[in-house]
Amino acid sequence: MKDEQHRFSALTSLIRLISLIGVEGKVDDLCMAILTDTSQEFGIKRLTCCSLEKGTATLRISGSSERVTAYKSVKLDDSSVAWLAQLPTDKMHIIESIDHLPQSFREILAPDEQECVALFIGRDDEPWHLVAISIDKENAQAVCNDAELAEYFRGVLIILDTLDRIGENLLSRLDINSVFELAPIGIIICDEDGSVISANNQALLILGCGPDTDALIGENLVSGDAFKNSGLDTVIRRAIAGEQVDIENLRFRCPSGKSVYLDVRFRSTRSKNGRSRVIGILADVTQRIRLQQQLERSYRSLTEAYEELQRIDKMKTRFIDTVSHELRTPLTVMRGYLEMLESGYSDKIDQKVMGKIKAIRANTERLYDLVETMLDVARIEQGAMEIIKQEASIKNLIEEVVASQQGLAHDKHQEITLVLQGELSSAMFDYRKMKDALRNVLNNAIRYTPEGGKIQVGAADEGKMIHIWVKDNGIGIPTSELERIFDRFHIVVAKELSHQVDRMGLGLPMAKGIVDAHGGKIWVESEVGKGSIFHIHIPKQ
């Protein structure tokens, strides 16, 4: 009679365990239910359910009658795995002394000194499942020999395995659904007729259906009135026919009438029951397309503006070239007559009149130099400047240029010092043109240095190059102006100086053109409020 009651008790417990799967499926609840059904009959005090992932040798506690809040996983060594593998399966195995347990199992099961441990193991599939129970030592043999209890725990292992599989499938489905909903692109699934089976939130927003999922489910994207001639109907029809459809910048008309641009990818697949399905992804690229269109319009406008500026610049260059040539001839005649008056009739002309003639001649010379500079700049731009190199002295060149500018510096009470480092060898260069280049750089320093300033002109032999520099303690050049300092007609704006009206912005561009034509280099270092240094490298050959 006791056996019949015991058999009924075991069967009832298994049925109740199975019913728990449908409610919560918590292993802790199963452990408590097992303990309730077996503690009185067999003296079981504690119960722990574990699983071993053999590939990683990780023993994981899945539940306990102690209801531990945070279960740990233990990495087993090879000897512990081997010990577990040699235990009999589908049978209760008694470990009478904790000394016979591997250390990792002692930490997990933690039996008392008066207790022994019984293990029931299933190794049919990965992972291995096992139930560990703590019992009094006097009940150990009865537990080990009870066939009904073994059958009961065999059922428990099946339930544990089922719970594992349910958990994996649930997590897998949850992960897929999360990815489906959180994807930043639209994902849509249609049946073989083009009716929507499933769509994520992003797809609803892209297709203009709002956040209401039911608004799109069942909608036919091929023949439905809302999507007819939308642009998407043709794409889905091609995918249903088995074509792999990849289209960029597809113009799609929403049911609301709004037009957007989409990048679409559609593929035809078959479900498990053999039915055809169309899976598509949609990316709204409207902002990118509109930005691209705006950039293209801006680019066209800029191109047109640039071409217009080039046209105006060419007109200006031709105008300057023409005017310069037209001015040069009468200026040459004026220079000749003025020189004749000054040299041949100075003793016959009233001195007051002669003073005015000298002033006229000085301004004529200045205007002539300006015309020559404009013509030189035009020749440089056209690549027509002729450089005639001859061996000449750098020292003589610098001294002559400094002497020619001493008068202008004296008028502003400036001091020009000459620094020649070591012996300066002669070099091959066009003396007249290089003199013009250096004169323009020094003249620029004088004009942009306030009264009482100091200017240094120096030179040094640096092997294959002669290094010439002009250093001043003037107003300096803003960093924003440095890249344009050698552009034609560019003048650095400076409130500190009133002499800018005398500038045309041609001296430095001409100097650069001449230095470049010699195969040299000119550059500037400057700091606002402290001054500038113009450097010139001239090849010796």
- Relative to beta strand 531-539, strand 465-472 is antiparallel
Q: For residue range 302-324, list pLDDT tens digits in order.
A: 999 999 988 887 787 777 777 77
Q: For residue range 77-111, list pLDDT tens digits in order.
A: 888 888 888 887 877 888 877 777 787 777 666 66
Kind and range of the H or E run holding 433: helix 431-447
For 415, the token pair is 């001091």
Residue 107 CA: distances (Å) to CA of 65, 102, 133, 297: 16, 9, 14, 73
Most confident of 149-158, 190-199, 448-457: 448-457
What pLDDT is stored for residue 122 in this prediction? Answer: 77
The number of helices, as runs of H, and strands, as runs of E, in the chain is 14, 18
Domain 181-289 class in CATH:
alpha beta
Q: What percentage of the chain reaches a pLDDT higher than 90?
A: 11
For 322, the 3-state DSSP assignment is helix
Tell whether the model's pLDDT for residue 8 goes beyond 70. no
What pLDDT is stored for residue 6 in this prediction? Answer: 44
| Bridge partners of residue 539, in order along the sequence | 465
Tell whether the model's pLDDT for residue 177 goes beyond 70. no
Q: What whole-number distance in Å separates Cα of residue 199 and Cα of residue 236?
A: 14
* pTM of the entire predicted model: 0.42
83-88 CB contacts, 8 Å cutoff, 24+ apart: 84/52, 84/121, 84/128, 84/130, 85/123, 87/119, 87/121, 88/121
Q: What whole-number distance in Å separates Cα of residue 410 and Cα of residue 359?
A: 19
Residue 274 Ramachandran class (φ > 0 left, ψ -120 to 50 alpha, else beta)? left
What pLDDT is stored for residue 171 in this prediction? Answer: 47
Q: 493 falls in which pLDDT band (50, 70, 90)? A: low
Q: For residue range 252-300, list pLDDT tens digits in order.
A: 877 777 788 888 888 888 765 667 888 888 888 888 888 988 999 999 9
Q: Which residue has the tokens 């956040």?
A: 211
Q: Which residue has the tokens 């035009």?
A: 378
Q: What whole-number distance in Å separates Cα of residue 486 and Cα of residue 376?
A: 15
Most confident of 159-168, 319-328, 385-394: 385-394
Give the start-end residues of each E strand in 369-494.
Answer: 390-392, 415-421, 427-429, 454-462, 465-472
| Bridge partners of residue 294, in order along the sequence | none
Domain ranges of the chain: 27-171, 181-289, 302-382, 390-539
Q: For residue range 124-155, list pLDDT tens digits in order.
A: 666 788 888 888 888 788 778 887 777 778 78
Other C-beta atoms lying within 10 Å of the C-beta of residue 188: 25
Determine whether domain 302-382 maps to CATH 1.10.287.130: yes
Residue 257 Ramachandran class (φ > 0 left, ψ -120 to 50 alpha, else beta)? left
Q: 197 falls in which pLDDT band (50, 70, 90)? A: confident
Q: 458 falls in which pLDDT band (50, 70, 90)? A: very high
What pLDDT is stored for residue 61 in this prediction? Answer: 77
Q: Output the average pLDDT for the chain.
A: 79
Is 390-539 the same fold as 181-289?
no
Tell whether the model's pLDDT for residue 217 goes beyond 50. yes
What pLDDT is stored for residue 416 in this prediction? Answer: 92
- Architecture of the domain whose range is 390-539: 2-Layer Sandwich (3.30)
Q: 23 falls in which pLDDT band (50, 70, 90)? A: very low
For 207, the token pair is 């297709």
